Amino acid sequence: MTVDACDVTPSTCQLDANGKSRNMWPNGAPFALFLSHDVDQVYDRGFYRTLGDINHFQRLLRGKDYGNKAACWHRMGRSLLHPKGWRSQFERILKIESAYGWRSTFFFLEGNRWSRYGARYALEDPPIRELAALLINADCEIGVHGGYHDFNRAAGYRRSSERLESAFGIKPVGIRNHFLKFSYPETWQAQAEGGFLYDATFGMSDRPGFRDELMQPFIPENPQSGAPIDIVVLPLTVMDFTLFQTLGLGQEEALAALDSLLEQAKDAGGLLSLLWHNNYFDEPEYRIWEEVYVEFLRRISTCKPYCGTGAEIARWWRSRKVGG
Ligand SMILES: [Zn+2]
């Protein structure tokens, strides 16, 4: 860990090429940070969880997945014989982020529990309600993770929103689609009609980086009419799975890739948006995933960004645009 990611002071970061203040983010922060977690899995034991573990293990044996065979084998045995509780992974995340006074957004999967791309838990399960209360008490945001089958249907988005509201007593305003499923402009139009303030789906799963070089939140337009679509897009910069599983990066390689993204976000005064899945925390096989997150957050913190939940960033961006 030889790279110190931020040698540029915040005051310098606030200046553009002409030496003028960008004043883009609250309190003159040099760039913004959006931390998020897609809650695909919560329970250590489950039918699809076991299928996924078996598939991962056989891929590991054939050299098609990245990971640790012994740790994977141990994890499979544990989940079947002595499953760990759901709480520790989330408490780990809250502890890591709150060290900097930061809070994040958790997108809960809504959908049919017993389908391939559905939820791995029911929103109404007592432990899931308890989890939601834990996050709400920690001042985190809860959004919807859904839309795999309904990614261009407003009715599906409305149903997801209502189910979360009914289960948790909060009205979600943010959404990220499962597997980043997306089509333009249908997804954003349907999400807007479904009542969402912002979308966090727009990103790349095969490599880290700023999709279409878009480094700021934006309000998209309908390509036919040119009319704005009533939703704020918070582009996704990078997710854990891409770094460690798709690309197979080690700890230092992943940090180098992340440092590059941090530099770009700083240079543009843009939005750095991270997705780290909850089920890879407090998990020995994925120890590096968590360690990289911890170290990268430390590096980001030296740059003193504005860190908000997705809802806070989207509201700020919208009010800023309206106010000029
Ligand atoms: Zn997902």
Tens of pLDDT, residues 161-194: 999 999 999 999 999 999 999 999 999 999 999 9
Inform me whether the pLDDT recorded for 283 exceeds 80. yes
pLDDT tens sequence across 223-235: 999 999 999 999 9
* Mean pLDDT, residues 106-118 taken together: 84
* Mean pLDDT, residues 20-25 taken together: 65
- Beta-strand runs (E) in the chain: 32-39, 105-109, 141-146, 174-177, 198-199, 232-233, 238-239, 271-275, 306-307
- Beta-strand runs (E) in 133-222: 141-146, 174-177, 198-199
**Would you state the structure tokens that stand for residue 161, as one six-digit string?**
């929103």
Give the percent of the chain with pLDDT over 70.
92
CB atoms within 10 A of CB 212: 9
Q: Give the distance (Å) from ligand 1 centre to CA of residue 179.
A: 5
Q: Give the distance (Å) from ligand 1 centre to CA of residue 102.
A: 23
Inform me whether the pLDDT recorded for 260 exceeds 70. yes
* Mean pLDDT, residues 251-269 taken together: 97
* Mean pLDDT, residues 274-288 taken together: 96
Q: Give the distance (Å) from ligand 1 centre to CA of residue 145.
A: 7
Inform me whether the pLDDT recorded for 135 exceeds 50. yes
**Rounded Cα gap, residues 133 and 170, in angstroms:** 10
Q: Give the distance (Å) from ligand 1 centre to CA of residue 267.
A: 30
**What are the domain boundaries of the chain?**
10-43+86-323, 46-84
**Using omega within 30 degrees of 0 as the cis cutoff, is the peptide bond preceding 185 cis?**
yes
pLDDT tens sequence across 237-249: 999 999 999 999 9
How does residue 20 score in pLDDT terms, banded at 50, 70 and 90?
A: very low
* Mean pLDDT, residues 247-252 taken together: 96
* Mean pLDDT, residues 123-137 taken together: 97
pLDDT tens sequence across 39-53: 999 999 988 888 888
Task: Look at 121 and 5; give whichever has higher pLDDT.
Answer: 121
- Bridge partners of 40? none
Inform me whether the pLDDT recorded for 15 exceeds 70. no
> Contact at 8 Å (CB) between 231 and 188?
yes
pLDDT tens sequence across 3-13: 333 332 333 34
* Mean pLDDT, residues 263-277 taken together: 96
The CATH label, of 3.20.20.370, 1.10.10.10, 3.10.105.10, 3.40.50.300, for the domain at 10-43+86-323 is: 3.20.20.370
> Contact at 8 Å (CB) between 13 and 31?
yes
Tell me whether residue 139 is exposed, middle or buried, using C-beta atoms within 10 angstroms of its C-beta: 0 to 12, 13 to 18, 19 or more. exposed
Length of the chain, in residues: 324
> Contact at 8 Å (CB) between 302 and 5?
yes
Q: Give the distance (Å) from ligand 1 centre to CA of residue 90.
A: 16
Q: Give the distance (Å) from ligand 1 centre to CA of residue 107.
A: 9
CB atoms within 10 A of CB 240: 22
Q: Give the distance (Å) from ligand 1 centre to CA of residue 37.
A: 9
